[in-house]
């Protein structure tokens, strides 16, 4: 493989950090699962509008291709090669009384974590048999959950288009055919091995074998962020007694996209700030100050509708879960204050 054609105006982290020297040093390496630099960068090479543009095929990718991943991790999370990740999943440490009890601004709250099964390749390098094994063992574990977490698993295979589209539209299910995931092989054998588990109220959901092998999700209408976090923690703790997760002291929970390492947590609200959104610079000044990301309301790479935005923590590694949610909470309080003043 030759150095890829990366145009000068490409702004992704791949384009920023893949110098010809880094490329030369890494181009012939291969992890024990057979994952190469060419595969790691293919999404960003084919999708020049990527924000990041790289994925890992396994935990080893982060070590073997460190010349590329380390500067991206440092750039995105502000986390250095010798730093250690720390976890704190204690809801009592979160200071988050509902910032919008009258429900004027916050439409809904969602917190998710990514998890992958220990000692298996990540989705980009997994075989069909391994993926099917992940599905059956995760579902077996989920089927033992009790109380509020009790629910049922719905495989994508055999799901009607209508049900699938409704679940996507209502923000419960991952979308199909994502070109960023496609380019790294994450859509191979689709829809086999993929599915969604949820409780009756759809306040607790687990995506199986999408970008990560598990996405554990807690969500509900309104702005009770602490209640959403508390439910999520109880789900994570129950699931990890059944399924061993891939984790190390440096990078925390191992995920296929380097932006998700560490806590692998994205805590978001859908929030209506139509007045503030008329001045995107003022809006961005607040989100930047609180380390937040703005997305549209149909997920990553989507647009806002009716002045409603998806606001979430940007950093996930080198801060604890409580701090990640606190980033989001503090920023949301600032956004509501600014919107009220206009």
Binding footprint of ligand ADP on the chain (CB under 6 A): 108-110, 112, 171, 215, 219, 266, 268-270, 295, 297-300, 310
Q: Identify the CA nearest to 69 among candidates 260, 230, 288, 325.
A: 260
Instruction: Let me know: does 178 contact 123? Beta carbons within 8 Å.
Output: no
Q: What's the rounded Cα separation, in Å, for the pair 183 and 45?
A: 9
Q: What's the rounded Cα separation, in Å, for the pair 262 and 250?
A: 8
Q: What's the rounded Cα separation, in Å, for the pair 340 and 342?
A: 6
Say what the alpha-carbon torsion angle 11, 17, 20, 24 is, to the nearest 10 degrees.
-140
Residue 155 beta carbon to ligand CIR: minimum distance, rounded to whole angstroms: 25
- Candidate list 110, 115, 131, 266, residue with the active-site label: 266
Is 315 an annotated catalytic residue?
no
Q: What's the rounded Cα separation, in Å, for the pair 5 and 339?
A: 44
Q: Which residue is nearest to ligand ADP (CB)?
A: 299
Regarding 43 and contact with ligand CIR (CB under 6 A), the answer is: yes
Q: Three-class SS of residue 252?
A: strand
Regarding 53 and contact with ligand CIR (CB under 6 A), the answer is: yes
Residue 100 beta carbon to ligand CIR: minimum distance, rounded to whole angstroms: 25
Residue 304 beta carbon to ligand CIR: minimum distance, rounded to whole angstroms: 16
Which of the choices ligand ADP, ligand CIR, none does residue 246 contact, using the CB cut-off of 5 to 8 A by kind? none
Is 257 an annotated catalytic residue?
yes
Is 295 an annotated catalytic residue?
yes
Is 211 an annotated catalytic residue?
yes
Residue 219 beta carbon to ligand ADP: minimum distance, rounded to whole angstroms: 6
Instruction: Let me know: does 139 contact 153? Beta carbons within 8 Å.
Output: yes
Per CB under 6 A, residues contacting ligand CIR are 43, 50-53, 180, 257, 259, 300
Instruction: List the catalytic residues.
Output: 112, 211, 215, 257, 259, 266, 295, 300
């Amino acid at each position: 493989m030759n150095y890829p054609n990366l145009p000068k105006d490409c702004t992704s982290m791949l384009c920023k950090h893949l110098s010809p020297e880094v490329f030369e040093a890494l181009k012939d390496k291969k992890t024990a699962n057979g994952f190469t630099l060419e595969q790691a960068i293919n999404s960003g090479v084919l999708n020049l509008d990527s924000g990041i543009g790289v994925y890992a095929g396994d935990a080893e990718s982060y070590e073997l291709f460190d010349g590329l991943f380390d500067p991206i991790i440092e750039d995105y999370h502000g986390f250095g090669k010798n730093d250690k990740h720390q976890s704190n999943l204690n809801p009592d440490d979160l200071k988050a009384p509902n910032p919008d009890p009258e429900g004027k601004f916050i439409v809904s709250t969602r917190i998710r974590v990514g998890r992958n099964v220990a000692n298996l390749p990540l989705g980009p390098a997994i075989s069909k048999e391994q993926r099917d094994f992940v599905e059956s063992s995760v579902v077996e574990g989920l089927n033992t959950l009790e109380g509020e977490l009790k629910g049922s698993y719905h495989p994508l295979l055999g799901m009607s288009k209508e049900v699938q589209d409704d679940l996507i539209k209502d923000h419960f299910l991952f979308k199909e055919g994502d070109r960023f995931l496609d380019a790294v092989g994450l859509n191979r054998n689709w829809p086999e091995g993929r599915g969604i588990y949820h409780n009756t109220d759809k306040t607790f959901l687990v995506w199986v074998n999408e970008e990560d092998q598990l996405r554990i999700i807690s969500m509900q209408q309104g702005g009770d962020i602490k209640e959403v976090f508390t439910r999520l923690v109880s789900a994570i703790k129950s699931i990890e007694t059944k399924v061993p997760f891939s984790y190390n002291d440096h990078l925390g929970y191992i995920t296929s996209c380097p932006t998700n390492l560490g806590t692998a947590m994205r805590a978001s609200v859908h929030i209506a700030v139509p007045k503030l959104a008329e001045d995107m610079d003022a809006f961005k000044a607040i989100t930047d100050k609180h380390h937040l990301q703005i997305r549209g309301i149909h997920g990553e790479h989507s647009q806002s509708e009716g002045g409603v935005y998806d606001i979430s923590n940007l950093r996930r590694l080198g801060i604890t879960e409580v701090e990640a949610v606190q980033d989001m909470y503090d920023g949301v309080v600032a956004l509501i204050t600014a919107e009220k003043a206009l």
